[in-house]
Amino acid sequence: MKKHGEFWLPLSLGLILGFSPAVLFGQITGCAGREREEALPTDAGVYRDAMTLADKLGKNGIEVECVMGSTMGGSFEGQNGAAVYRTNRGSLDVLFLTPPGTFDRLRILEQRNGERYSYRFKGPPQPWPSNLIDSAYRIYFIKDRNMLFVVDDVELAAMIQKLVRSRR
């Protein structure tokens, strides 16, 4: 009888690990090619927060396919990092402040110059010295406590805004 039990435990664990490694280890599958090389490393300071957010997005109809490092990682004083999320609805950046810091009082100033958009920030938190984003398209900024979502798709921005409002 003991041998029978010894067989089923490893088999059960093997099946669990085989069918759900992403869930068990907090990793997002779907990063392929160059994205795999740019995937957010597990030792990044923002990794745990990024994976928690990926899970919340998934539970709200925004399937995260890949989480990568972002060039916006040092944009604000007190920032813990940033991540790019490639989803079934489009891509977005999320900037994370170290708690208890929040983006609640951050002012985002948008200016349209012909076909281009310019964005400046007034803190707290204090923005990086260059403090300018110049873009060929409109960008939507959604604040949620210590997170700032940066989205260039109006429909995805609306979904994120709805999710943020439902959590308050």
pLDDT band at residue 33 under the 50/70/90 scheme: confident
Q: 147 has which bridge partners?
A: 96, 144
Backbone angles phi, psi at 88, to 5 degrees: -70, -5
Residue 138 gets the label, from left (phi > 0), alpha (psi -120 to 50) or beta, of: beta
**More reliable by pLDDT, 16 or 44:** 44
Q: How many CB atoms lie within 10 A of CB 76?
A: 24
pLDDT band at residue 12 under the 50/70/90 scheme: very low
- The alpha carbon of residue 60 and the mean position of all alpha carbons in its chain are separated, in whole angstroms, by 14
Strands 90-97 and 107-113: unpaired
pLDDT higher than 60, residue 109:
yes
Whole-angstrom CA distances from 41 to 45, 57, 59, 91, 145 are 9, 20, 23, 18, 24
Q: Please tell me whether residue 98 adopts helix, strand or coil conformation.
A: coil
pLDDT higher than 80, residue 9:
no
**If you average pLDDT over residues 49-62, what whole number do you get?**
96
- Specify whether the CB–CB gap between 38 and 83 falls below 8 A: no
How far apart CA 86 and CA 28 sit, in angstroms, is 10
How far apart CA 17 and CA 47 sit, in angstroms, is 21
- The whole-number pLDDT of residue 28 equals 53
* pLDDT-wise least confident of 35-44, 106-115, 151-160: 35-44
Tens-digit pLDDT profile for residues 134-159:
999 999 999 999 999 999 999 999 99
